[in-house]
Amino acid sequence: MRTKLVVGNWKMHKTLAEAVATVEASLRWVDARRDVDVAICPPFTALSKVRELLRHTHIQVGAQDVFWKDSGAFTGQVSPAMLSDIGCAYCIVGHSETRGRFGKLEVAESSLGYFAESDHTINLKIRALLFQSINPILCVGETEAERQAGQTEAVIRNQLASALEGIDPSEMYFFAVAYEPVWAIGTGNTCDAAEANRVCGFIRQVISDLTDADVAQNIRILYGGSVKPDNADELFRQPEIDGGLVGGASLDPHSFSRIVMAAGSNA
């Protein structure tokens, strides 16, 4: 049976002092749920300190993104070797926001070219993370327009096929894939639990087609997109949903703790 995984993605939030306070406030309750795997993905500036605070717990640290080279003249980038040195166990790749696909647009539309992630760069990042033994959390999902056009399955299949191209199936057992419908990210809208389960099951089938059935049965598929304490229990009861990639609710220690508890009660 797959162990539930709950990942808090803090995005561009929290100073160092705020990060410390948030971890300390939730540590007792979250660490008590040893039947749930938990990871926190703070901003790069807080990674080292958060890792230090969590060193003697079962809670892991993850990064929100990575560059695919271990070193070089790449101003502003952070390498897989640097993440490994800090002690990161996970790294999010292909998030819709790094792809320039926003559920709630908070920047000028003319600036979207800044977010230049592509299927090719996602594949490069996955390869680089695996080389450093860091577990990728691959994000896939459709926009509202794509869903309305009946393209959900085609979009997700293409995202998976491109991201996993050339990856040896034997390296994928510790992968996680997060289904994040773009229209639900930061909007307060949540995909119906039964529909989220259906799409997560579809993702598992595509992974089976691309790799093999054993990998597909072992890989954890998370749901992300306005996961909150009041919907977490219903989501985590679904047989194809193995946990959550939690955005806004992970910023509040009480809310995040309740989501982890919900995962534990459905483990």
- Domain positions in the chain: 144-165+200-211
Predicted TM-score (pTM) above 0.75: yes
Selecting among 97, 117, 146, 180, the annotated active-site residue is 180
Average pLDDT over residues 48-59: 96
Q: What is the largest CA-CA distance in the chain?
A: 48
Q: What's the confidence (pLDDT) of residue 174?
A: 87
Q: Average pLDDT, whole number, for the chain? A: 95
**Is 18 annotated as catalytic?**
no
**Is 254 annotated as catalytic?**
no
Contact criterion met (CB below 8 Å) for 163 and 201:
no
Average pLDDT over residues 24-43: 95
Q: Tell me: pLDDT of 125 over 90.
A: yes
Average pLDDT over residues 136-162: 96
Contact criterion met (CB below 8 Å) for 92 and 139:
yes
Nearest to 185 by CA among 229, 143, 235: 143
Q: Residue 218: pLDDT band by 50, 70, 90 thresholds? A: very high
Q: Tell me: pLDDT of 88 over 80.
A: yes
Q: Tell me: pLDDT of 210 over 80.
A: yes
Compute the distance between CA of residue 184 and CA of residue 104 in angstroms, rounded to an integer. 9
